[in-house]
Structure 1
Amino acid sequence: MNLLELRGVHTHVGAYHILHGVDLEVPAGQVTMLLGRNGAGKTSTLRTLMGLWTASRGTVSFKGEDITQLATPAIAARGIAYVPETMGVFGELTVAENLLLAARRARKLAELDTARLDWLFGFFPALKTFWGHPAGKLSGGQKQMLAIARALIEPRELLVIDEPSKGLAPAIVLNLIEALRSVKAEAGTTVLLVEQNFRVAAELGDRVAVMDDGKVVHRGAMAALIADTELQQRLLGLSLGAHQ
C-alpha cells in the first residue's frame, strides 16, 4: 500500500518549468530514497508535495486524499514532517524552544514527552548538552541534528527529509542512520529521503526512485540498484560502491 503518491506532477516556478510529470510512490512503512544528479528535481519534488510550491498539473495524494492544492500547514497537520535542506531552525530560540514549537501536543517545556526526548538525546547527545543555548550558536552539524530531532519530537506518519547527512561528521551520520532505522522499526514511520551520501542510501533504503530532468526515470528495490554498478553509472554517473 502506498502512503504517498505523485501522479503526473508538473511544477512551474515563474517562467521555469521545474517538474515534468513526476510519478512517485512511497510505500507505507518503508524508506524510499529519492536519488539523482544535482538539479534533477529532487528538492523541487519535496517542496511541491509539501505545498511550498503548487503543482501546475497532476495530483499529490496522501492516504488516498488529494492534497495537491492544500496549504503547507494543512499538509503538515495530516501527519507529515518535513526537514528542508536549509534546516530552517530558529536561531534566536533555544534548542528547547525549537523542539517545543514542533511539539503540537505541548504548550510549555514541562509538557514535552520526556521519554521521547531521552530517545532523541540517545542519538543526538549534543542537543541535551546545548538544551538552553540559542540554536543560532550551534555548529552546522548540530543545527542539522536539531532540525531532524524537531521532525521526530512527535510521532509522524510520513517523514520527508532533504539531505539529512549534509555537513555531519561520520560518527553523527551513523547515529542518524540508527535513529531513522529506529523510527521505521519501532514507530512504523514511513520515510521519503533525498540523500547524496550513498552509504546512507544503501544502509537505509528499501525502495529507490531516481530522477533526471524533472521526472522519475527509474524505480525499484534499493538492493537491486546497489547490486548493479552499470545501472548506477547510467543513472547517477557514479558507483554507489565507491562511496560506501
Structure 2
Amino acid sequence: MTALLSLRGVKTNIGRYHILHGVEFDVPEGGLTMLLGRNGAGKTTTLRTIMGLWRAHAGEIRFDGKDITALATPDIARLGIAYVPESMAIFGDLTVQENLILAARSGPFDQKRLDWIFARFEALKRFWTLPAGHLSGGQKQMLAVARAIIEPRRLLLIDEPTKGLAPAIIANMIEAFRELKDGEATLLVVEQNFFFARELGDNVAVMDDGKVAHCGGMAAFAADTALQQHLLGLGMGEHQ
C-alpha cells in the first residue's frame, strides 16, 4: 500500500528532555492507523511533531512524497492535514457555529457535509448558537472533531478522541470515523480505548519509550495477546 505519511528517524526534544528517539513508521493512504502505547511513550509528541507544533531536530517527515519536516504549521495544514488535540482547543467564548466558520477556510459551509456532521453529532445542531464553553466534555469533543472535518482533509491526526466520553457518544464517533476512513480521508489516531482501536484500526504502530516497537495490521495485533501484554502491559480483550 502507498504511504501517505512516512516518518524516518524522527527525534524531538522538548527543552532538555529527549522525547522521540528515532521514530519510524508509515501511514498507508486510505483507512485508519492506530498509534498505541503506554502513557508517556511519545504518542502525542509524535502527532505534534508531524503537525510542526514541535520541531523535529533530526529525521524526516514526508507527506504525499513531500518533505514537510521544516514546514510551519499553517503550511502543513494547507496541504490537507488537520489535527484534533487531546485538549480539544475549541474557542469557548464563540458559538458552535462560529467555531465551525473559523475552520471552514474555503468559505460558506457545504450544506450536505454539515447535515452529515449533524446526523453523527446531533448535539452540535441543538446547541448551534450556544457558546462552545457551555458544552459538556463529550459535546466539546464532537465539536473538535467536526472542526477538523468540516472541509475534506487528506489526513486527520486525532489524539484520544474517546477520552472521557459516554458509550453512546463513542458509538457515534465510531460510525463517523468508519465513514471517513472508508471514504475520503486517511486517519492517524492515538487511542487508549482498545475496543475503539479494534473496531476501527486497519493498521497499528505501537510506541515504547519514544520509539516504534511494532508495526503491522490491527487484526493480527488484536489476535496476539502475548504481544499486547509485552508492549502495552495488558491485552486488548481486558480493556473495553
TM-score, reference length from structure 1: 0.97
Task: Quote the residue 1:171 is aligned against.
Answer: 168
User: Which of 212, 217, 220 matches 1:224?
Assistant: 220
Q: Which amino acid aligns with 1:231?
A: L
User: What is the DSSP-based 3-state SS (H/G/I as helix, E as strand, rest coil) of the residue aligned with 1:182?
Assistant: helix
User: What is the DSSP-based 3-state SS (H/G/I as helix, E as strand, rest coil) of the residue aligned with 1:238?
Assistant: coil
Q: Which amino acid aligns with 1:165?
A: T
Task: Quote the residue 2:64 is aligned against.
Answer: 63
Task: Quote the residue 2:101 is aligned against.
Answer: 100
Q: What are the superposed Cα offsets for residues 115-149 of structure 1, whole Å, 9 maximum, x if unpaired?
A: 11110011100000000000011111110000001
Rounded Cα–Cα distance in structure 1 between residues aligned with 2:114 and 2:164: 23
User: In percent, how many aligned pairs have the same letter?
Assistant: 67
Task: Quote the residue 2:200 is aligned against.
Answer: 204
Measured on the aligned residues, the alpha-carbon RMSD in Å equals 0.6
Q: Which amino acid aligns with 2:204?
A: V
Task: Quote the residue 1:39 is aligned against.
Answer: 40
CA offset at residue 156 of structure 1? Answer: 0.4
CA offset at residue 114 of structure 1? Answer: 1.0
Rounded Cα–Cα distance in structure 2 between residues aligned with 1:216 and 1:4: 15
Task: Quote the residue 2:231 is aligned against.
Answer: 235
User: What is the DSSP-based 3-state SS (H/G/I as helix, E as strand, rest coil) of the residue aligned with 1:55?
Assistant: coil
Alignment of 1:1-244 (within 5 A): 1-106=2-107, 111-187=108-184, 189-244=185-240
Rounded Cα–Cα distance in structure 2 between residues aligned with 1:186 and 1:221: 19
Rounded Cα–Cα distance in structure 2 between residues aligned with 1:24 and 1:69: 18
Rounded Cα–Cα distance in structure 2 between residues aligned with 1:125 and 1:59: 40
Rounded Cα–Cα distance in structure 2 between residues aligned with 1:179 and 1:223: 21
User: What is the DSSP-based 3-state SS (H/G/I as helix, E as strand, rest coil) of the residue aligned with 2:183?
Assistant: helix
Q: Which amino acid aligns with 1:213?
A: D
Tell me if structure 1 keeps the 8 A contact 2:31–2:182: no
Rounded Cα–Cα distance in structure 2 between residues aligned with 1:80 and 1:24: 17
Rounded Cα–Cα distance in structure 2 between residues aligned with 1:40 and 1:186: 31
Tell me if structure 1 keeps the 8 A contact 2:160–2:190: yes
Tell me if structure 1 keeps the 8 A contact 2:83–2:157: yes
Rounded Cα–Cα distance in structure 2 between residues aligned with 1:186 and 1:233: 33
Q: What are the superposed Cα offsets for residues 9-60 of structure 1, whole Å, 9 maximum, x if unpaired?
A: 0001111111000001000002000000000000000000000000000000
Rounded Cα–Cα distance in structure 1 between residues aligned with 2:200 and 2:181: 10
Rounded Cα–Cα distance in structure 1 between residues aligned with 2:165 and 2:129: 22
Q: Which amino acid aligns with 1:122?
A: A
Rounded Cα–Cα distance in structure 2 between residues aligned with 1:243 and 1:211: 18
Tell me if structure 1 keeps the 8 A contact 2:32–2:200: yes
Rounded Cα–Cα distance in structure 2 between residues aligned with 1:26 and 1:17: 24
CA offset at residue 186 of structure 1? Answer: 2.6
Q: Which runs of 5+ in 1 are unaligned?
A: none
Aligned length: 239
Q: Which amino acid aligns with 1:124?
A: F
User: What is the DSSP-based 3-state SS (H/G/I as helix, E as strand, rest coil) of the residue aligned with 1:160?
Assistant: strand
Q: Which amino acid aligns with 1:89?
A: I
Q: Which amino acid aligns with 2:213?
A: V
List structure 1 segments (4+ residues) > 3 angstroms apart after TM superposition.
none
Rounded Cα–Cα distance in structure 2 between residues aligned with 1:158 and 1:186: 12
